[in-house]
């Protein structure tokens, strides 16, 4: 839901920066790779140490590459299937790194096995939510549903909470509770979104199969009629 509105806004804001990178000879694929590497570094270096504020700052600086690379490709007129594939694939890698960083913290110094399991569930469910849409579309279904918690919501909820939770290191009391709350929200929302997409694919596939059966029956009737003539 958030992705529908926020993406258009930030795309307009980042258009001049994308144009500058093109003038400097930077390719969209390079931006995709650098952005993913930056997100992974922020998540897997800072988060396991409990440095949630600085980790979030680093990740936020690089996460906008997901908008910049596509903007660059459109401006340069070089949008391609390869670029779309690379972007989508590395998005999954970056998302996994963020929740892996949370899981590593709770498995180590954070010392909370339940929250470690919740973070792992967020990681896995996020991948499966993305897969259900991609798989549904690959078999010719529109998967026409706006899920409760999609990628943009997962990132915003988890990163905002992590950044604020990191203020605990600067003396803000009790604010670190925001990260566990956010992880539970993302986990529950991802589960709801997964169910929404599975139900949608089930309905759309049944409708498509029924339409195909009707079309096949009509085709057989037409052939039979032609034979009678």
From the annotation, which residues make up the binding site for a CDP-1,2-diacyl-sn-glycerol? 29-32, 70, 74, 80
Per the annotation, where are the binding residues? 29-32, 66, 69-70, 74, 80, 87, 91
Q: Is 69 helix (H, G, I), strand (E, B) or coil?
A: helix
Quick check: 176 and 200 in contact, CB under 8 A? no
Tokens read off for 106: 């709770």
Helix 113-138 vs helix 151-165: crossing angle, to nearest 10: 160
Secondary structure (DSSP) of 63-131: HTHHHHHHHHHHHHT---HHHHHHHHHHHHHHHHHHHHHHHHHHHTTT--HHHHHHHHHHHHHHHHHHH
Distance CA 34, CA 40 (A): 10
Contact residues for 129 (Cβ-Cβ < 8 A; gap 6+): 147, 150, 190, 193, 194, 197
Block residue for tokens 């960083």: 101
Binding site members for Mg(2+): 66, 69, 87, 91
**Is 176 one of the catalytic residues?**
no
Name the active-site residue from 91, 111, 209, 228. 91
Taking each helix axis from N to C end, the angle separating 28-41 and 65-76, rounded to the nearest 10 degrees, works out to: 180
Strand, coil or helix: what is 144? coil
Tokens of 159: 């990163």
Q: Catalogue the active-site residues.
A: 91
């Amino acid at each position: 839901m958030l992705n529908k509105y926020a993406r258009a806004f930030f795309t307009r804001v980042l258009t001049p920066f994308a144009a500058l990178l093109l003038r400097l000879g930077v390719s969209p694929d390079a931006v995709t790779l650098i952005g993913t590497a930056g997100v992974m570094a922020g998540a897997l270096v800072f988060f396991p140490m409990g440095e949630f504020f600085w980790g979030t700052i680093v990740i936020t600086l690089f996460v906008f590459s997901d908008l910049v690379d596509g903007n660059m490709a459109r401006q340069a007129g070089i949008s391609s299937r390869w670029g779309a594939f690379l972007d989508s694939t590395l998005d999954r890698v970056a998302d996994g790194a963020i929740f892996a960083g949370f899981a590593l913290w709770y498995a180590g110094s954070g010392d909370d096995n339940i929250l470690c399991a919740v973070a792992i569930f967020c990681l896995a469910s996020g991948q499966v939510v993305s897969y259900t849409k991609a798989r549904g579309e690959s078999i010719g279904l529109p998967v026409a549903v706006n899920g409760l918690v999609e990628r943009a919501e997962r990132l915003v909820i988890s990163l905002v909470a992590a950044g604020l939770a990191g203020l605990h290191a600067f003396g803000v009391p009790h604010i670190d509770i925001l990260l566990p709350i956010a992880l539970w929200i993302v986990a529950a929302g991802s589960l709801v979104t997964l169910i929404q997409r599975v139900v949608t694919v089930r309905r759309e596939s049944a409708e498509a199969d029924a339409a195909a059966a009707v079309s096949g029956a009509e085709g057989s009737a037409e052939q039979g009629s032609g034979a009678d003539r």
